[in-house]
Structure 1
C-alpha cells in the first residue's frame, strides 16, 4: 500500500516530464528555415543560369542595360525582390516606396559581384549562396532579436538597376 501511494504521487510528475519532450508545446525558432539548395532551385527552374567564375554565384541577365556598369565605389539605385529558395519573399521595393539606394560596398558580397554585370536599366536574377550573403549565423533584428534571415540561407534576388 505504501508503494501505491508513492506511485500515485509520482504519476503526475511523470506525465509532466513526458510531455516536456513534445515539440508541439514550444514555438519553432523562426530562424530555422525549410528551403531547397541552389542546385535544386536551378534544376527546378526553366532559366539557364551561368556561374560567375566558380564563386557559387549564379545569374541570369534578362536585360544588360547600358554599356556603363557600376563599380564597387558607386552608389546604386535599384528595385529588387529578395526571396529564399522556397519562394518566401523577405524584402522588396515597391512602386509606392520607390527604389532603394545604397553604396555597393555596403551590401552583401553576392550583390557586389552580381550588380556590376549589368548597366543602368539592366535586369538580373542572382542566385546567391549563403556564403556570399549572410553566412552561417542567423541575422536578427538588434532591437527585438526577431529573426530576419535564417542561418545558411541561399537567396534569389531579382534586380533592376535604375541608376548609379
Structure 2
C-alpha cells in the first residue's frame, strides 16, 4: 500500500512540475521572455507617436515626469494611493482607476516597473511610463495583457503612507 501511495505522489509531482514549466498557451513550449532591447524600438515609437518626451531609466523603462510632486517620496514599503490608466502599445486600455481610495497598495507588491518608476516622483506627482514586458507581466501575461507586452501607464501618486 505504501509503494502505491509513493508512486501516486511521484506521478502527481511530475505532472505538476511539467505543467508549471509550460507556457500559458498550452502548446507545450516553454515561456520565452522578451529582452528589453528587443522591445525598445516599439516603446520609443509609442512615445514619439504619443508626444511623450521620455528619459530612459537604466532598467529600460522610458518615462516622462509630468509633475514631480512635493509631498512624501514613496519607498518599497509605502502604501500608495494612485489614479492611473494602463494601455497596451496598440492603444487598447486594459485597466483604469480614477478613484485613488480604491487602491492603497504596498508598492513592493506591484509589478517591478511600478516599483522603479514610482520612486521617481513624490506625493502629488504624475508620471508617464512605458515598461518593458520583463518588468511587467513577462512571457506569462495577465488577463487582457498578452505575453511579452510592453505597457504604458499614466500614473498620479495621490497619497503616500
**Common fold by TM > 0.5:** yes
Q: 1:152 to 1:76 in 2, by over 3 A?
A: same
1:20 equivalent in structure 2: none
1:154 equivalent in structure 2: 150
CA distance in 2, matches of 1:64, 1:89: 24
Q: Is 2:47 aligned against 1:51? A: no
**Pick from 129, 136, 140: which aligns with 2:132?**
129
Contact kept, 8 Å, 1:79 with 1:99, in 2: the verdict is: no
Q: What's the offset of the Cα at 1:138?
A: 2.7
User: In the TM superposition, what are the counterparts of 1:6-21 in structure 2 within 5 Å?
Assistant: none
- Which consecutive segments of 4 or more residues in structure 1 shift more than 4 A? none
CA distance in 2, matches of 1:68, 1:75: 11
Q: What's the offset of the Cα at 1:125?
A: 0.4
1:16 equivalent in structure 2: none
Gaps of 5+ in 2: 1-24, 26-40
CA distance in 1, matches of 2:79, 2:96: 18
2:46 equivalent in structure 1: 41
1:73 equivalent in structure 2: 77
CA distance in 1, matches of 2:48, 2:105: 32
Q: What's the offset of the Cα at 1:98?
A: 4.4
Q: Is 2:107 aligned against 1:104? A: yes
CA distance in 1, matches of 2:122, 2:135: 21
Q: What's the offset of the Cα at 1:75?
A: 0.7
Q: Is 2:65 aligned against 1:61? A: yes
Partner SS, residue 77 of structure 1? strand
Q: Is 2:122 aligned against 1:119? A: yes
Contact kept, 8 Å, 1:130 with 1:136, in 2: the verdict is: yes
2:87 equivalent in structure 1: 83
Q: Deviations over 1:22-45 (max 9, x none)?
A: xxxxxxx9xxxxxx8212212323
Q: 1:94 to 1:68 in 2, by over 3 A?
A: closer
CA distance in 2, matches of 1:78, 1:46: 23
Q: What's the offset of the Cα at 1:67?
A: 5.0
TM-score (norm 1): 0.68
